[in-house]
Amino acid sequence: MRLILVLLYLVVFFIISIPLFLVELIIGLFSLHARAKSSQIIVAAAFKVLLFLAGVKRTVIGTENIPRDEPILYVSNHRSYFDIPISYVSLPTMTGFIAKKEIRRIPFLRVWMHFIQCLFLDRSDIKQGMKTILQAIEQIKKGYSIFISPEGTRNHGKEMLPFKEGSFKIAEKTGCAIVPVALTNTDEIFENHIPWIKSTKVVIEFGKPIYPNRLDKEQLKHLGSYVQGIIKEMLDKNQALI
């Protein structure tokens, strides 16, 4: 039943998106920043309805750790298609996601992602992947936060996949804060019993900001592993809240 409700809602939202696109395009003629901000409000509201229909019950921890007056690199584990909606409705700053290039094939969704400054990563092409990282660095410099999952794909095992160190160049080159994000139990919504959507309690926790220029040499050399270790600690702790 929840699956049908979610699918019907997505169809309705995509239909409503057509006139909204026109409004956002007009806003963009005057200010791309204003368009990104208004689009984020719309997308976050749409995701809230989606999560309600899916029966997702969120526990959000650590939003006080997020700097409000500077762009941030959010770094998270990745286990579910629902990770992005859960994260997005929990973020207090203007943020674009780095997503796999395949999502760009989805009509309507790719337009909204363009409006909110998302970037698309080609995981099979190192040169194109580096180009995306350079684009993310420019976005940080313009004041937009970036959200990335350095595992590179959804992970269905008990342990996280190794974090790709290249993702952290965004913070190293800009000096922006890294905020670790731990998503717990999100695969129980859908992935663990495809094709059904199940009402699920999930936890999202934002860790304390990490500034690369304040780390010692060893931590900076293995920055991906260092951040991943912090996320693992949060994941282990939050299992008790499920």
Pairing relation of β-strands 177-184 and 200-206?
A: antiparallel
For the chain, the average pLDDT equals 93
pLDDT band, very low/low/confident/very high, at 158 (cuts 50, 70, 90): confident
CA torsion sign for 234, 216, 212, 119 is negative
| Residue-range domains of the chain with CATH | 2-241 (3.40.1130.10)
**Closest alpha carbon to 62 in 92, 101, 19:** 92
Q: Is 172 exposed, middle or buried (0-12, 13-18, 19+ CB in 10 A)?
A: middle
pLDDT per position as a tens digit, 83-131: 999 999 999 889 999 988 888 888 889 999 999 999 998 877 778 888 9
Alpha helices in the chain (DSSP H): 2-30, 32-54, 83-88, 109-115, 126-141, 169-174, 217-221, 223-238
Q: What is the mean pLDDT of residues 63-83?
A: 95
Phi, psi dihedrals of residue 204, rounded to the nearest 5°: -125, 125
Phi, psi dihedrals of residue 183, rounded to the nearest 5°: -105, 115
* DSSP secondary structure code for residue 184 in this structure: E
Instruction: For residues 177 and 225, give the distance between their C-alpha atoms in angstroms, rounded to a whole number.
Output: 16
Instruction: For residues 178 and 173, give the distance between their C-alpha atoms in angstroms, rounded to a whole number.
Output: 12
Higher pLDDT, 106 or 39: 39
142 half-sphere exposure, CB direction, 13 A CA radius: 15
What ranges make up the beta strands (E) of 122-199?
145-148, 177-184
Instruction: For residues 123 and 152, give the distance between their C-alpha atoms in angstroms, rounded to a whole number.
Output: 8
Pairing relation of β-strands 95-100 and 145-148?
A: parallel
Instruction: For residues 87 and 55, give the distance between their C-alpha atoms in angstroms, rounded to a whole number.
Output: 16
Q: What is the mean pLDDT of residues 59-79?
A: 96
pLDDT per position as a tens digit, 42-54: 999 999 999 999 9
Structural element, H or E, at residue 204:
strand 200-206
